[in-house]
Amino acid sequence: MSQTYEIFDHSVHLVADLSGIFIFAVTGALVAVRMRFDVFGIMALAEITALGGGVFRDLVIGDVPPAAFRDMGYFLTPIIAGGLVFFLHPAINRIGGAVQVVDAAGLGLFSVSGTVKAAVWGIEPFHAAAIGVATAVGGGVLRDLLAMEIPSLLRRDREMYALPSVLGAGTVAVLLQFGLLGPISSGAAMLATFVLRLLALRYGWRGPLAWKSEQLPAPGGKEPGQGRGAGRGQPVS
């Protein structure tokens, strides 16, 4: 396959990847602790949250076996994150804002690096961006499903999560299309995703509901926003 788009030095890429995996594993483990899963459930949810998006990406682009099953660091990082959360969850929850900031960094990183990897494997830029978004948000969707919560990605009572990812991945796609992708421009795309997510959190930006949705009957059960669950970056208070 072409390596034209390999914009990062391999070791930079690995460190960045493992950082993102660590953060997403922390969010998975925090949900597991809140749901009172036992230590095995904590580790399982940490692994699935951290690696789920990347495994989907690799299956779709044909990089089999997925990187998560080739590199021991990918497998051990969520275990370390789960172990830290197992002991330190009260302290981590106290710095909940910090977790959200780092989660936003993970979102930017995976949106961009997932798009780049898909493009390296020969996917056209705009489809690569779709795969990049799936890489960034996929693990969180699996985490929420396994905790029986409506994925916070989809919920209106959560600050915008998809849009920053779409923006970052889409920027990379445009750069790829015009042959302009480089370390600086891809770093800028990561930063834009990160900042937009932080702004959404800071100012409570949410996506619009469907037009005339006030005409809808009340949902039969409970409001989707009133479940027992908190989502990514909404730690136990």
Give the nearest distance from C-beta 42 to a second copy in angstroms.
Answer: 6
Nearest to a second copy of 3, 215 (CB atom): 215
Cα–Cα distances in angstroms (integers) from residue 56 to residues 65, 133, 160, 171, 210, in the given order: 11, 11, 23, 22, 29
Q: Specify the residue, 202 or 212, whose C-beta has the smaller distance to a second copy.
A: 212
Q: Is 78 left (phi over 0), alpha (psi -120 to 50) or beta?
A: alpha
Q: Which amino acid is at 89?
A: H
DSSP 110-121: HHHHHHHHHHHT
Per CB under 8 A, which region of 11-19, 31-39, 96-104, 194-202 contacts a second copy? 31-39
CB of 102 to a second copy, least distance (A): 20
Query: Of 124, 177, 183, 195, which one interacts with a second copy (CB under 8 A)?
Result: 124
Could you say whether residue 9 binds a second copy (CB under 8 A)? Answer: no
Whole-number Å distance between alpha carbons of 221 and 42: 29
Site for a second copy, residues 128 to 147, rule: CB under 8 A: 130-131, 141, 145-147
Smallest distance from a second copy to CB 88, Å = 8
Task: Enumerate residues 6+ apart whose C-beta is below 8 A from 113.
Answer: 8, 13, 16, 17, 20, 132, 135
- In the range 93-122, which residues lie near a second copy by CB under 8 A? 121-122
Segment 152 to 171, residues that bind a second copy, using CB under 8 A: 153-156, 160-163, 166
Q: Which is nearer to a second copy, 3 or 213 (CB)?
A: 213
Distance between CA atoms of 31 and 141, rounded to whole angstroms? 12
59 touches a second copy (CB under 8 A): yes
